[in-house]
Structure 1
Amino acid sequence: MRLAPAVFLGGTVGTGLRLGIDLALPHADTAFPASTLIANTIGAFVLGWLVAGLWTRPGLPAWVKATLGTGLLGSFTTYSAVMVSLVALGAAGFPALGWGYLAATLLLGFGAAALGLRLGALHRVLPEIPDAGGTP
């Protein structure tokens, strides 16, 4: 229960950021949901970067992970919005657009997560190795 305020705070910020993308890139139910695709791709990249980079730092408090991962990115990215868009596109008679959207979501999401993991690993903090005696 101690982490609930951290998740709440992150969720509030993530929801606001997501709303900003949705307002900047509005779309009808029968149009390509670019805002959802962009938010989920960005979220996959950032979470990959955090997991491989920041999460590996010794002593990182659990509230930081809860705030950024579960709260902020959990509310910023939305699996449910992907499913609603797929159903809406299919019901509106645009199944090919729905399949294209699903393919783009999967390819960009996995690609962004992989890139985030790779870049996060480059910035990983390694523990210091004590000098065992007299390096010149």
Structure 2
Amino acid sequence: MHVRAQLPVAGAVAAGGALGAAARHAATLLWPTPAGAFPWTVLGVNTLGCALIGVLMVLVTETATAPHPLVRPFLGTGVLGGFTTFSAFALDTQRLLAAGETVRALAYLAATPLGALAAVAAATAATRAALAGKGRTA
């Protein structure tokens, strides 16, 4: 595909990513994590973001009405991709290890992917059930 044809997708991802990253940053400002403490805010952001990705994917792929082609790049890759954060997860883990908080670091290393996977699975199932109850699935 020609590069020019992908510019709207790139723009949607960039705009959404800016919004998502700003929302994540706002969450860390509202609920900062003290040094050496368990990073609940980033864990919560990542878990919430994964739940929302589960909802979004059901809505854009399993409903009878096809969404605008930029919805998934804007909301999924952009907003929710910018909102969730592997970099902060890695940095928080490194900070915990550097502070000698090995148990907290290992708990965080386990809780983040487990929480994210559980959130996306639960949100996907809940969204499918809600749509089936309303007769809106494809």
TM-score by length of 2: 0.83
**7-16 or 72-81: bigger deviation:** 7-16
Give distance in 2, aligned partners of 1:95 and 1:12. 33
Q: 2:96 is matched with which residue? A: 89
Alignment check: 8 A CA contact 2:20 2:82 kept: yes
Give distance in 1, aligned partners of 2:15 and 2:124. 25
Q: 1:69 is matched with which residue? A: 76
Identity of aligned residues (%): 33
SS in structure 2 opposite 1:21? helix
- CA displacement, residues 57-106 of structure 1 (integer Å, 9 cap, x when unaligned): 34222200011000000100001111111111111111101011122212
**62-71 or 97-106: bigger deviation:** 97-106
Match for 1:59 among 58, 61, 66? Answer: 66
Match for 1:126 among 122, 128, 137? Answer: 137
> Once the 2 structures are TM-superposed, how far is the Cα of residue 29 of structure 1 from its aligned partner?
4.0
Q: 1:134 is matched with which residue? A: none
Q: 1:34 is matched with which residue? A: 40
Give distance in 1, aligned partners of 2:71 and 2:35. 36
Alignment check: 8 A CA contact 2:60 2:66 kept: no
Which stretches in structure 2 are left out of the alignment for 5+ residues?
A: 1-6
1:108 counterpart = 2:119: no
Match for 1:49 among 50, 55, 69? Answer: 55
May I ask how many residue pairs the two structures share in their alignment?
127
1:2 counterpart = 2:8: yes
Greater fraction helix: 2
For the pair shown, the structure with the greater C-alpha radius of gyration is 1
Give distance in 2, aligned partners of 1:75 and 1:39. 11
Which stretches in structure 1 are left out of the alignment for 5+ residues?
A: 128-136
Which residue type is aligned with residue 67 of structure 2? L
Segments of 4+ moved more than 2 angstroms: 53-59, 124-127
How big is the alpha-carbon RMSD for the aligned residues of Structure 1 and Structure 2?
A: 1.6
> Once the 2 structures are TM-superposed, how far is the Cα of residue 109 of structure 1 from its aligned partner?
1.1
- CA displacement, residues 32-57 of structure 1 (integer Å, 9 cap, x when unaligned): 11110010000010001111233323
